Every structure is written in C-alpha cells, then in structure tokens.
Amino acid sequence: MSTNTAVVEMLKYYGEHCVSLYKGNDLFNKIIKMLEENSNIVLDFKNVLTITSSFLNASIAKLYGQFEEAYFLNKIKYLNLDETDTQLLNLVIKNAKEHFSKSPDVRKLENKIVEDTINKKLDE
Amino acid sequence: MNKDLIKANIIDIRNPKSLSTSKMLVDSNILYFCYYDRFQDLEFIDRAPKKYQLIEYPKYYEIMLSSKIELFIHKISIIEFVKTVIEAEMQIAYCKSDPTLNLDNYKPKYFRVNNPQTYYSVQQNILTYLASIKKTFKMIGCDEKDITLDMCLSDFYLTWQKTLADPNEAIMIADANKLGICSVFSDDFDIATFKSINFYTANRKVV
C-alpha cells in the first residue's frame, strides 16, 4: 500500500488568509482526494496570518461527517499553527465530533422538529 | 420597505468594486459569521444564520484582509459577539437536555443558574474565539490611551470567568474596578456571582 506524504502548503494554495467557505470546500475536496490515494497529509500553515472557524468548518470539521475519525485521524498532521490557531482548530474539531456523533434516530427527530417549525412559520 | 429611511451610501459586497477605504469598522455579526462554528447545530433548532450570511461575509472579510486595510472593532461589538455566542451555545446545550427540542420552554437565566458548569464551559470556548479575533483587530471605544484590544479583553475575561453574569455586566464591573469602584447597587442576581464586589441589593434570591 502506498504511504506517500502529501504536503499542502496552505500559503501557496490559499494565501495569507483562510476565511471563506469556498477555500474551505476546496481544501476539503483536496483532502478527500489524498485520502482516497492513501496519502499521509501534512497541512503546512507557515506564514498564514488568519484562520477562522468559517474556513475550518468547511474543511476539517466536514471530515467528521464524512468518515469515522479513526480512518483519517493519524493521516492528517498540522504544521506551523500558533497556539491560538491550534486552540481554535481543537475547538472546531470537538464541536464537529459532538455534532456528527448524534445517532440517526436523534437526527431524524431533529429534522422532523425543524420541518414542523418551518411549516408552523409558513402557516402563521 | 420605505427607501427614504436609507441614508447611507450602500456598497453591495456581492459585487465588490475595489475597496476605496483604508479603514473599516467591523460589526459584531461579522465576527459571528466568521469566527463562530456551530451553525449546523443551530440549524436543527431553526436558529442558524441565513445561507448568504455564511457565504458572503467571510468571503468579503477575506478580501478586506488581503487588501491590508485597517480593521477596527468597538468594545461594545465584542460584547455583542460574546452575547450572541452565549445565546447560541446555551440554546444548543438546552436542546441536548430536552429531547423534544422545544425552545418555547427555554428560560435563559433559569437554565444558566441551574447549569453553571455549562456556562463556565461556554466562557472557556469564548476565550478561544476572542483569542483569534484579537489577532486581527484594533479596538475603539475606550477612553484610556494606549489600551490594546488584548488588554481590554484580558480585564473583561478575568472579571467575567466563573461568574453567571452577562458579558455586558462583566465589562461594566471590570471598568468600574479599574477606577477603584467596588460597590454595585443593583437588583440583578448575576452581580452576586462576581468576586470582590460589595453588592447593595434587596434581591430575594440573595438577601
């Protein structure tokens, strides 16, 4: 099995500021492709000045809805994140895990409640 | 809507022309759309922002950052952001505790006082968001010279953590403390949760 390491220089692909959803989605798709190729992934944030939750949600957090954590946890490493950005990443991951850990039955109930709420609003 | 009410010059950020300003004041809702992350949970309880807000504002914020214009945030907007996040986080926590997810029964203050550990945990999370925010902005709305956003937020957070108060109460107490004012006259129970305060009250929960 291939165990090559793919390094994503975030500055090169996304610039100094990683904020928008479209950049986050692009990174997400990149990661999916590399995981399918069985690569180990290094996300290098050297010289990236801004990282926000909006970007991390569209990229890293979404992985937790797509796969079991065990599948990709040891395959992705983060380089050159300062303490603030590391804490933000950890918080986004923690919240994503909590969100996607809900069972299908709970999600079904929640979806029904959302639907009922929307229908109630339409009737008003 | 009565268009006569609109007096400002409107720039549609969906079709941005080149930025013609070197300074921008950023409102609390922009911080919320860019720095808060639990919108998928809020969708389940019909409290999430609109889709365009989560797409357009981060996109334009990124454009502003790349243009290297100076970004400013008012002290009040920081507090507004904190309050919005608290509301979101506590509603999410409430819905976890109530399987019917019926927010009609949700009483914010009651839930907070009866779930202090949840509130303290939310305060910790907010510290993480604020740490990210203060990397980017300069603060306005403070009379003291040379006070940085970092200093203001440190004072606020040190005063606020492990209390059950709203953030605006915390900033009020923090500012008062800096002037040597430690006595507060109020009926608000939340004030009782601050350390080192002389709380003058007739609040029945406290006296």
Among A73-77, B43-47, B98-102, name the most confident range.
A73-77
Contact state of B33 with A87 under an 8 Å Cβ cutoff: no
Start-end of H helices in chain B? 28-35, 39-44, 51-67, 75-97, 108-114, 116-133, 149-160, 167-178
Q: What is the pLDDT of residue A121?
A: 47
Q: What is the mean pLDDT of chain B?
A: 84
C-alpha A54, offset from chain centre? 10
Summarised one tens digit per residue, pLDDT across range B88-147 is: 999 888 888 766 767 787 888 889 999 999 999 999 999 999 999 989 988 887 666 556
Contact state of B100 with A51 under an 8 Å Cβ cutoff: no
- The two counts, helices (H) then strands (E), for chain B are 8, 5
Residue A31 or residue B193, greater confidence: A31
Distance CA A24, CA B39 (A): 15
Summarised one tens digit per residue, pLDDT across range A93-115 is: 999 998 888 755 555 555 565 55
Min Cα–Cα distance to chain B from A43, Å = 19
| Token output for B66 | 């790349």
Q: Measured between CB atoms, which of B35, B45, B62 is closest to A53? A: B35
Q: Mutating which of A16, A19, A105 best tests the B interface, going by the most B Cβ atoms within 10 A? A: A19
**% of chain B residues with pLDDT over 70:** 92
Q: What is the mean pLDDT of chain A?
A: 86
Chain B residues in contact with chain A using a Cβ-Cβ cutoff of 8 Å: 33-41, 43-46, 54-55, 58-59, 61-62, 65-66, 99-101, 125, 128-129, 131-132, 135-136
Distance CA B73, CA B75 (A): 7
State the average pLDDT over residues B179-199. Answer: 85
Summarised one tens digit per residue, pLDDT across range A81-95 is: 999 999 999 999 999
Burial class (CB in 10 A: 0-12, 13-18, 19+), B169: buried
Q: Which residues are paired to B199 by β-bridges?
A: B184
Summarised one tens digit per residue, pLDDT across range A30-66 is: 999 999 998 999 999 999 999 999 999 999 999 998 8
Min Cα–Cα distance to chain A from B186, Å = 36
Min Cα–Cα distance to chain A from B10, Å = 22
Q: Which of B46, B49, B36, B45 is nearest to B95 (CA)?
A: B45
Q: Measured between CB atoms, which of B36, B41, B66 is closest to A17? A: B66
Distance CA B28, CA B83 (A): 10
Q: Confirm if B74 and B140 have CB atoms less than 8 A apart.
A: yes
